[in-house]
Amino acid sequence: MSDTHEGKKHDKKIVDEEGYKFPSGSQLCQDTGFQGFNPEGAEVHQPKKKPRGGELTGEESAKNTLISNVRVRVKHHISGIKRCKIVVHKFRNHLDHYADEIMETACGLHNFRVCNRQKKENNCLKSA
C-alpha cells in the first residue's frame, strides 16, 4: 500500500510520485485514468478506447470484457472494505501510519468475512 493522500489528488499523479517497482512478470490491470503508466517488468492490461468514428474489433471488445469482469470484482472488494466506516469518513488522528494500520485492519476483516462466507457455502453444499 502507498501512503494515504488527500481525496482530490489524482491517482496517476500519486503513482508518478511514488515510483512503484513491480517484480518481473507481474500482471497489472489498470483503467484508462492511468494512460501512459507502463512500469518496467509488468505486463499492463488496460481497456482499449473506441476510436473516434470507428469501432473496436471483436478481439479488442472481448479483451475489454475480460478486463471489465476483473474490475467489477475488485470494485466489489473495495466496497466490502468500505463497510468499515472508519475507512470512508474523514480521519482526524495524526499518529504516524495509524491510517495505514486501519486500512490494513479493514482489509483483514473483509478477507475474514469473505473466507467465512465461502466456508459456510461449502458446508451447505456438502450437507445438501
- Exposure string of 8-18, with b = 16+ CB inside 10 Å and e = fewer, is eeeeeeebeee
Distance CA 15, CA 37 (A): 8
> How many percent of the chain have pLDDT more than 90?
12
Q: With the CA atoms of 80, 83, 88 and 92 taken in that order, what torsion angle do they form, in degrees rounded to the nearest 10?
A: -130
Span 23-40, average pLDDT: 83
Confidence of residue 1 (pLDDT cuts 50, 70, 90): low
Decide which of 124 and 77 is more confident. 77
Q: For residue 116, give its domain range.
A: 90-128
Span 70-90, average pLDDT: 87
Decide which of 12 and 53 is more confident. 53
Instruction: Enter the C-alpha cell of residue 98.
Output: 495509524
Question: Does residue 124 sit within a domain?
Answer: yes
* pTM listed for this prediction: 0.66
**pLDDT for the residue 61:** 92
Total count of domains within the chain: 1
Let me know how many helices (H) and strands (E) the chain has, helices first. 4, 2
pLDDT over threshold 90, residue 103: no
**pLDDT for the residue 55:** 92
Question: Does residue 48 sit within a domain?
Answer: no
Question: Does residue 128 sit within a domain?
Answer: yes
